[in-house]
């Protein structure tokens, strides 16, 4: 194989799209997918490539330093694309320790293993860390954008843990010379997203006639990016980005949460054959969560100018594809919401 690349969190939402892209686009790369298979990891996301000759799945914890080191040795890993993370803000508010362990110590475990294995031989090596726009804090409704030089100002345990992991990656580059880079991305949407997130949760709730809980008045604004476009950006940056750099990845696509909900209702009702407005009554306003940032918006000009990447889909097209996918794959969704997938993997791996 030409290269041996470790992708962490590859059974998750964004990770599965990245694994699929690399396995299919680069048959001369050996792709090692390392995932702990927590609640958000699901190998059904990769059913179509699970038997590919250049693909290996390993169930392990990135915080298990000895295991991570052994993987570097066993597979002669020369590239890391690090996506494994706890990523849900509400969960971080309830359990910040888990977020600190996985997002901070897990990243440090990978960095230290890479440093130990590569041992100063940096030629042809790369450590690529995927982060979030939430590390920058919040924007006002004044047209401002997050840039690569925006000061970090995290407001939740989740974003604080990601900010810390970003700093560790940059510190390893500056201290040891490790060829590393960081990207900060806006909200992703698309197939295989765990249904605790807004878009798949609300598609499923509309399908079943369940309430659509909207925080506050739904005025919070997010920039949305179709997940396949994010995977394309990761591919471009991994191969052509500059060591030590930060690249922001965004969709140039800002929407208020309440407007997203209304688009989802309209689209799902239409595709289900419901009369317009059938599910409008499901909108339920609930108490806003602590530290809920007003607005995120990414400026991806640097990525477009230097590496030629830009989103391929407008939001209306992307949301149509997304809603159709979830409605056509309701068995995948039902398996997730029932919890059956977790029991299946626990039974599969308990004797290994």
Residue 5 main-chain phi, psi, to 5 deg: -115, 130
- Please report, in angstroms and rounded to a whole number, the separation of the first and last CA atoms in the chain: 27
Query: For residues 166 and 127, what is the distance between their CA atoms, to the nearest angstrom?
Result: 12
Q: Is 136 a catalytic residue?
A: no
Contact between 134 and 161 under an 8 Å Cβ cutoff? The reply is no
Of the residues 136, 158, 192, 247, only one is catalytic, namely 158
Q: Based on the number of CB atoms within 10 Å of its own CB, is 292 exposed (0-12), middle (13-18) or buried (19 or more)?
A: middle
In the block, which residue shows the tokens 């960095």? 111
Of the residues 86, 134, 223, 229, only one is catalytic, namely 134
Dihedral sign, CA of 285, 287, 290, 294? Answer: positive
Of the residues 61, 78, 86, 133, only one is catalytic, namely 133
Query: For residues 108 and 164, what is the distance between their CA atoms, to the nearest angstrom?
Result: 10
Residue 163 main-chain phi, psi, to 5 deg: -60, -40
What tokens were used for 291?
């530290």
In the block, which residue shows the tokens 């359990």? 95
Q: Is 345 a catalytic residue?
A: no
Query: For residues 340 and 333, what is the distance between their CA atoms, to the nearest angstrom?
Result: 11
Q: Is 235 a catalytic residue?
A: no
Q: Which residues contact 65 (CB under 8 A, 6 or more apart)?
A: 109, 112, 113
Q: Which residues are designated catalytic?
A: 133-134, 158
């Amino acid at each position: 194989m030409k290269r041996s690349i470790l992708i962490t969190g590859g059974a998750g939402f964004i990770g599965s799209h990245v694994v699929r892209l690399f396995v299919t686009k680069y048959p001369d790369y050996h792709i090692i997918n390392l995932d702990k298979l927590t609640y958000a990891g699901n190998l059904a996301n990769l059913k179509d490539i699970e038997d590919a000759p250049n693909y290996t799945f390993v169930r392990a914890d990135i915080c298990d330093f000895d295991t991570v080191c052994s993987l570097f040795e066993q597979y002669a890993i020369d590239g890391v694309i690090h996506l494994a993370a706890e990523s849900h803000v509400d969960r971080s508010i309830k359990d910040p320790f888990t977020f600190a362990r996985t997002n901070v110590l897990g990243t440090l475990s990978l960095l230290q293993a890479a440093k130990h294995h590569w041992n100063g031989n940096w030629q042809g090596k790369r450590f690529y860390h995927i982060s979030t726009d939430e590390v920058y804090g919040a924007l006002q409704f004044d047209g401002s954008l997050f840039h690569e030089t925006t000061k970090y100002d995290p407001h939740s345990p989740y974003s604080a843990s990601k900010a810390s992991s970003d700093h560790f990656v940059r510190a390893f580059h500056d201290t040891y010379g490790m060829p590393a880079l960081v990207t900060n991305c806006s909200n992703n949407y698309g197939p295989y997203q765990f249904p605790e997130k807004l878009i798949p949760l609300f598609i499923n709730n509309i399908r079943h006639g369940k309430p659509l809980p909207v925080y506050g008045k739904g005025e919070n604004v997010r920039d949305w990016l179709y997940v396949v476009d994010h995977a394309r950006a990761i591919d471009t940056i991994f191969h052509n980005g500059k060591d030590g750099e930060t690249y922001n990845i965004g969709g140039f696509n800002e929407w208020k949460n309440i407007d997203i909900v209304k688009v989802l209702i309209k689209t799902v009702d239409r595709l289900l054959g419901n009369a317009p407005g059938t599910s409008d009554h499901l909108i339920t306003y609930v108490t806003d969560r602590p530290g809920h940032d007003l607005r995120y918006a990414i400026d991806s000009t640097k990525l477009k100018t230097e590496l030629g990447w830009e989103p391929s889909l407008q939001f209306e097209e992307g949301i149509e594809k997304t809603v159709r996918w979830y409605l056509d794959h309701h068995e995948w969704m039902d398996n997730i919401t029932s919890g059956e997938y977790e029991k299946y993997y626990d039974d599969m791996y308990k004797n290994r």
